[in-house]
């Protein structure tokens, strides 16, 4: 099935898209930015910067962080952060429904792909 | 106003998104890949590769090219290429409508940005 990605360019900020939302969801699950970063194979610094940019662009923060202490700091989603996730995922679903017909027409135009076999071809013998 | 971008990941190909569609539109206007590349500040090679990937992923080509001759080759959109543009732009409009309410809520949550003045501050005198 065709994956559909939505990117929202507010003002002149970098867009909010699937990556930032996945970080928020990961923080919601794991309660830490470093764990979210590991799960997405990005550096702690990158994940932190993405969170900071979201915190800066909205009136209310999306993530609250507590500093250091034993075992490092923690990060928790704010109610507004939860709302951002929900709204984004709702927009994705609404988009899928809204574009379904046009998308199906393009999909019918796709060339059938020779699927790369995951198994190696058997040796001739 | 928030810009909304749509990226369609068919199969395992690179997505079709605003960049590829802009190349098709530019070829429709100018009739050449090199002109489209210049207009988008990308190399001829990059633009050509993007066109080739679209030609390869659909059963019917989106662009027909004629080779060389005096003044270089030309590129023309096929009827299917025109359809791809129309469907994509229609999907964009449908998306805007479908996400309008959720988007408006997020927009109301945005921090007012100090707009960078384009004029220099007047000299005090």
Q: Is A11 touching B (CB cutoff 8 A)? A: yes
The answer to whether B27 and A31 have CB atoms below 8 angstroms apart is no
Total number of residues shown for chain A = 125
- The backbone region for B87, taken as left when phi is positive above 0, alpha when psi lies in -120 to 50, beta otherwise, is alpha
Task: Report the distance separating Cα B51 and Cα B56, nearest Å.
Answer: 9
- Whole-number average pLDDT of chain A: 89
**pTM (predicted TM-score):** 0.85
Q: Is A2 touching B (CB cutoff 8 A)? A: yes
pLDDT at residue B82 tops 60: yes
Q: B84 contacts in A (CB within 8 Å)?
A: 106
Give pLDDT, residue B12. Answer: 77
Closest CB to A109 among B5, B60, B110: B60
Q: How confident is the model at residue B120 (pLDDT cuts 50, 70, 90)?
A: low
Q: Is B7 touching A (CB cutoff 8 A)? A: yes
Subunit contact A60:B113, Cβ cutoff 8 A: no
Note the ipTM here.
0.85
Residue A97 Cα distances to A11, A107, B11, B12, B29, angstroms: 27, 15, 19, 22, 32
| Phi, psi (deg, nearest 5) at residue A25 | -65, -35
- The backbone region for B3, taken as left when phi is positive above 0, alpha when psi lies in -120 to 50, beta otherwise, is beta
Residue A72 Cα distances to A28, A66, A67, A68, A76, angstroms: 17, 9, 7, 4, 13
Q: Is A89 touching B (CB cutoff 8 A)? A: no
Give pLDDT, residue B4. Answer: 96
Q: Is A56 touching B (CB cutoff 8 A)? A: yes
Three-class secondary structure of residue B12 per DSSP:
coil
pLDDT tens column, B24-76 = 999 999 999 999 999 999 999 999 999 999 999 999 999 998 876 555 678 99
What is the least distance, in Å, from the CA of B18 to any CA of chain A? 11
């Amino acid at each position: 099935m065709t994956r559909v990605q939505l990117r929202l360019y507010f003002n002149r900020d970098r867009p909010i898209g699937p990556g930032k939302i996945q970080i928020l969801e990961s923080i919601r699950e794991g309660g830490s930015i470093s764990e979210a970063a590991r799960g997405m194979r990005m550096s702690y610094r990158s994940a932190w910067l993405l969170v900071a940019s979201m915190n800066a662009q909205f009136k209310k923060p999306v993530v609250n962080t507590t500093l250091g202490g034993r075992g490092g700091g923690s990060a928790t989603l704010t109610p507004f952060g939860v709302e951002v996730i929900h709204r984004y995922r709702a927009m994705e679903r609404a988009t899928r429904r809204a574009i379904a017909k046009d998308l199906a027409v393009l999909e019918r135009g796709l060339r059938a792909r020779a699927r790369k076999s995951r198994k190696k071809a058997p040796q001739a013998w």
